[in-house]
Amino acid sequence: MRIYEYIIRRLILLIFVLFAVSVVIFYLLRGFPTGIAPWAAYINSKMTADQIEAVIKAHGFDRPLWEQYFYWLRDIFQGQWGLTGIWAQGRPANEVFFNHFSYTIELAVSGVILTVAIGIPLGIISALKNNKLPDHVSRVIALAGYSTPAYWFGFMLQLVFFYYFSLWGLPHLPSSGASTLGVSRITGLPLLDGLLSGNLAFSWDEFLHLILPAFSLSFISLGFLARIVRASMLEVLRQDYITMARSKGLTERVVIYRHALKNALIPAVTLTGIFFAALLGGAMITEYVFSWPGVGQQALRAVFQGDSNFLLVYSLVFAAIIVTANLVVDVIYAFLDPRIKY
C-alpha cells in the first residue's frame, strides 16, 4: 500500500535527521571553541585540579571528539544517556528529562485545547463577516496575540490575576509552579493522576495552576491559527462548489458548515499538529515566567550551564517530535482530503 511505503520512507528520514542533529549538536557543544568548557557543567568552584581531572576523565572529555561521539552512541544504545551536571544533581540525563516532560505535555495539551477552542471560531467569524466590524475586531485580537511578547504577557497575567486580585480580595490564581500537593504516579501526567487516584483536591489544585500558563501560551498562538482559518475559509468560499451548493437551495448555514468548513479546516488541522509538536519542545519562555517544572525550563538551565548531555537528550527528542509530527500531520492530511495520494 502506497501509504505504508510513504510512512516507512519518512521514518527512515527521521533516523537520518536524528543522526545529523546529534552530530551537529555534539560538535557545537563539545568541539566548538566556545567560551564554556564542555565539562564546566560538571564541576563546581570548590573542586581541586585533580578532582576536575577526574571528572574530565570520567566523562571522557579528554578523548578526541569523534571518539567521544562513538562512545556516546554506544552508550545510548545501551540506554545510558549520560549524566547531567551539578545543576540537576548529576542524575541521568534521560531521567531528568522525562520527569519533567510530563509537565510539559500537560501544558502543551491544555494550550492546544484552548488555542483551538478560541482560535478556530475567531477565524470563521472573521471570514464570514469579512471586512466588517467583527472581522476587524477579531483581527486585532488575533494579531495582538501574535504580537505579544511571551515574557511580558505571562507576567501581566500573574500581576493581574495573582497580585492584584489578592490585593483586591478576589479569589486569585496561583502565580507559578505546578501543584505542590503530592500525588501517586500512575500515568505520569499530574492532572490525570489526580483524577485516576481519586485525589480530586490535587487535580483541582493542579488545574488552577495550569490555567494561567496555558492561557498565556494559547493567547499567543490562537491569533496565528485564527488568521490561517480565516484565509483558508475565504479561499474556500470563493470556490465554485460553494456557488453550486448555494444554487441547490441549501441554507447558508448548511453551505458553510457542511461544504465550506470541511475543506477550510484542513490546513488548520495540519497547523495545529505542528503547533503541538513545537509546544512539546517546552515553551521555554512561558515555563520560565511561570516557573512551570517542564522540560523547557530545564533546557534553559542546561543551556546556560553548557550541559551537553542534557542538551543532547533534549535536542534529539525535540527533533524526533518535530519530524514525527510532520509525518503524522501529512498522514492526517491524506485522510482528510481524499484527493491526496502518496
Partner 1 sequence: MSFKANKEEPLLEIRNLKVNFHTYRGEVKALNGVNLKLYPQEVLAVVGESGCGKSVTMQTLIGLLPENAYVPEGQIIFKGEDLTKKSKEHMRMLRAEELAIVFQDPMTFLNPVLTIESQLEEVFTLQKKLLIEASNLEKTQGDVKFTDLLREKSSDAPQTNRKLARKEVKRISKKLCVDILNLVKLPDPERILKHYPFELSGGMRQRAMIAMALARRPSIFIADEITTALDVTIQAQILHLLKELRDKIAASTLMVTHDLSVAAEVADRIAVMYGGNVVEVTSTRQLFKKPLHPYTQLLLKAIPNILNPVETLESIPGTVPEMVKPPPGCRFHPRCPFVMENCSKDRPKLKEVEKGHEVACYIY
Partner 2 sequence: MKEQQSASAVPKGEWEARLADIKYTLHLFRKNPLVMAGTIISLFFIGLALSANIIVNPNLALPTGYTGGMYPFERKYMWSAGSIINWGPNIAIYKGPESFLLGTDGWGRDLAKMIVLAVPVDLYYAAIITITAAIFGTFLGAIAGYIGGVIDEALLRITDIFFAFPALVLALVFASLPQFGRSLDTLALALVLVWWPPYVRLMRGQVLSEKEKPYVEALKATGAGNTRILFRHVLMNAIYPILVQVTMDFGGVILTFSALMFLGFSPSPALPELGNLAADGYGHIFDAPWVILFPGIVMLIISLAFNLVGDGLRDVLDPRLRR
69 versus 333: smaller Cβ distance to partner 1: 333
34 conformational bin, left if phi > 0, alpha if psi -120 to 50, beta if neither: beta
Taking the C-alpha atoms of residue 221 and residue 115, their distance in angstroms, rounded to an integer, is 6
Q: Which of 15, 28, 86, 244 binds partner 2 (CB under 8 A)?
A: 28
Q: Is the distance from CB of 328 to CB of 321 less than 8 angstroms? A: no
Amino acid at site 341: K
* Residue 47, C-alpha cell as written in the block: 573542586
Considering the complex, what minimum distance in angstroms separates the CB of residue 132 from partner 2? 12
Q: Which is nearer to partner 2, 48 or 168 (CB)?
A: 168
80/239 with CB nearer partner 1: 239
Judged by beta carbon distances under 5 to 8 A according to partner kind, the member of partner 2, partner 1, none in contact with residue 249 is: partner 1
SS3 assignment, position 84 = coil
Site string for partner 2, 109-148 (x = CB under 8 A): ----------------------x----x--xx--xx-xxx
* 94 CB-near residues (< 8 Å, 6+ apart): 81, 313
Amino acid at 52: I
Chosen from partner 1, partner 2, none, partner binding at 186 (C-beta under 5 to 8 Å by type): none
Q: Which of residues 226-285 bind partner 1 (CB under 8 A)?
A: 239-241, 243-251, 254, 258-259, 262-263
Which of 7, 52, 56, 231 touches partner 2 (CB under 8 A)? 231
Smallest gap from Cβ 254 to partner 1, in A, equals 7
Near partner 2 in 54-113, by CB under 8 A: none
Q: How many residues bind partner 1 (CB under 8 A)?
A: 21
Specify the residue, 166 or 251, whose C-beta has the smaller distance to partner 1. 251
Site for partner 2 in 33-52 (CB under 8 A): 33-36
Rounded distance between C-alpha atoms, residue 209 and residue 290, angstroms: 9
- Is there a contact between 114 and 215 (Cβ–Cβ < 8 Å)? yes
Q: Is residue 92 within 8 Å of 81, Cβ to Cβ?
A: yes
Shortest gap between Cβ of 269 and partner 1 (angstroms)? 12
Q: Which residues are bridge partners to 83 per DSSP?
A: 92
Stretch that binds partner 1, among 4-12, 24-32, 156-164, 331-339 (CB under 8 A): 331-339
> What is the distance between the terminal CA atoms of the chain, rounded to a whole angstrom?
9
As measured in angstroms, the least distance from the Cβ of 169 to partner 2 is 16
* CA angle at 335 for the pair 331 and 341, rounded to the nearest 5°: 75
Phi, psi of 307 (to 5 degrees): -80, 100
Distances (CA, A) of 338 to 17, 252, 342: 29, 25, 11
Q: How many CA atoms, within 13 angstroms, populate the side-chain half-sphere of residue 27? A: 6
Could you list the residues that contact partner 2 (CB under 8 A)?
Answer: 13, 16-17, 20-21, 24-25, 28-29, 32-36, 131, 136, 139-140, 143-144, 146-153, 155-156, 158-159, 163, 227, 231, 234-235, 238, 281, 284-285, 288, 299-300, 303-304, 306, 311, 314-315, 318-319, 322-323
Could you list the residues that contact partner 1 (CB under 8 A)?
Answer: 239-241, 243-251, 254, 258-259, 262-263, 336-339
